[in-house]
Amino acid sequence: MSDLEERAEALDSADGLAPLRELFTLDDTVYLDGNSLGALPRHVPARMQDVITREWGSLRIRSWDESGWWTAPERIGDRIAPLVGAAAGQIVVGDSTSVNVFKAVVAASRLADEGRDEILVDATTFPTDGYIAGSAARMTGHRVVPVDPAEVRGALGPRTAVVLLNHVDFRTGRLHDLPGLTAAVHEAGALAVWDLCHSAGALPVGLDAHGVDLAVGCTYKYLNGGPGSPAYLYVAERHQTAFDSPLPGWTSHADPFAMSPGYAPAEGSVRGRVGTPDILSMLALEAALDVWDGVSVDAVRAKSLALTDFFLECVAAYVPEGRVVPVTPAAHEERGSQVSLRCENADETEAVMRALTERGVVGDLRRPDILRFGFTPLYVGFADAERAARILAEVLAV
């Protein structure tokens, strides 16, 4: 056994979160793709069997009241709230991340002061955010200004209405300065909208503490809600009365079953709803969130940093120099919960990831040359990190 294998074994033995791995359906594969799709919590299938056979099969329509289906979007939002540093009553679950980005950007544009007509968008953002922001700009008469997150402060001005940023870059794993950038946006008189898809469930966010205006996020990555599980929308309490959704559906009406032709928005986070909730996937998410009971996000963050540190150390020790180059920042304050490695030869990127998968190490890639490895502290251990780096070296040596 090598020194690194021995260290991994010792680190796993001392890991207070290690027992949580037993809560998930896993095998001998090293699963480092939880930043794309989280693993299945073991108890979710039994819960869904009950939802399908009893709540839907037996109770049928009665379950909207008797099984709590109608209030699920707000109830589950309150389950997510402490994981992103928000008080209850500010998060509603439903729709996709893209739909919620649209709601947030348009609503923020409508909240902005008159004369402000620019939407600053992270130029390195996940493409859909940029597409949606462009559509929101056309609808509101604003214009989109793409800007690198490092240059946001210099790009802010009297015409800035909204700034849409990703908390963690999906390619590189770079963690952006949410507190500092939010403060700068506010000092410029604009509103901050944050995309939390690659940070919620992996590190502290502090939405309330840092005064974020609106935020969106998915639930199928670090929150393990399942493929296509519903996203969520955060609207700070101070903005809820003036929040003007561009998608005022019937379930966000103050009296939805009145079926009145005129729209009167409900109070609170309910305003973020649109249509009938997607109950099956929503209740699977609710069950999946049980794995977070009693878990400290600070402890998760500490393990995440330790895991990624150790993986980078193993890569440096095992992989021949120059074959891959880390593009994820070394500084803890700039790192999310993934490690991205750039292949020296871009043409071999897909072949390398395919070979890793065949040998039991599952990550993913972003073209043209990025290998991505996501570290979900609830179920990834140090032995996983060591094994992944060792097999990567073996694949690159072929």
Catalytic residue among 79, 116, 335, 372: 372
Q: Catalytic one among 24, 102, 170, 220?
A: 220
Q: What is the DSSP letter of 318?
A: H
CA atoms within 13 A on the CB side of 40: 13
Task: Please confirm, yes or no, whether 220 is among the known catalytic residues.
Answer: yes
C-alpha dihedral (155, 214, 272, 244), degrees to nearest 10:
-50
Distance CA 239, CA 103 (A): 13
Whether 17 contacts 377, CB under 8 Å: yes
Q: What is the C-alpha to C-alpha distance for residues 16 and 6, in angstroms, rounded to an integer?
A: 18
Cα dist. 141→117, 188, 340 in Å?
7, 20, 38
Catalytic residue among 24, 31, 102, 126: 126
Q: Quick check: is 221 catalytic? A: yes
Report DSSP state, residue 261. Answer: S
Residue with tokens 């509101």: 140
Tell me if residue 126 is catalytic.
yes
Could you say which DSSP state residue 174 is in? B
* Number of residues in the chain: 398
Is 95 among the residues known to form the active site? no
- Could you give the CA distance from residue 382 to residue 5 in angstroms, rounded to a whole number? 9
Among residues 195, 278, 364, 369, the one annotated as catalytic is: 195
**Alpha-helical regions (H) of the chain:** 3-13, 44-50, 63-66, 72-80, 97-111, 127-140, 152-155, 178-187, 279-288, 297-318, 349-358, 382-397
Catalytic residue among 221, 335, 387, 390: 221
**Per-residue buried b or exposed e for 123-154, using 16+ beta carbons within 10 Å of the residue's own CB:** ebbbeebbebbbebbeebebebbebebeebbe
Q: Mark whether 65 is an active-site residue.
A: no
Rg (CA), the chain: 22
Contacts with 325 (C-beta within 8 Å, 6 or more apart), sequence order: 341, 342, 344
> CA nearest 372: which of 210, 169, 220, 188?
169
Residues annotated as part of the active site: 126, 195, 220-221, 372
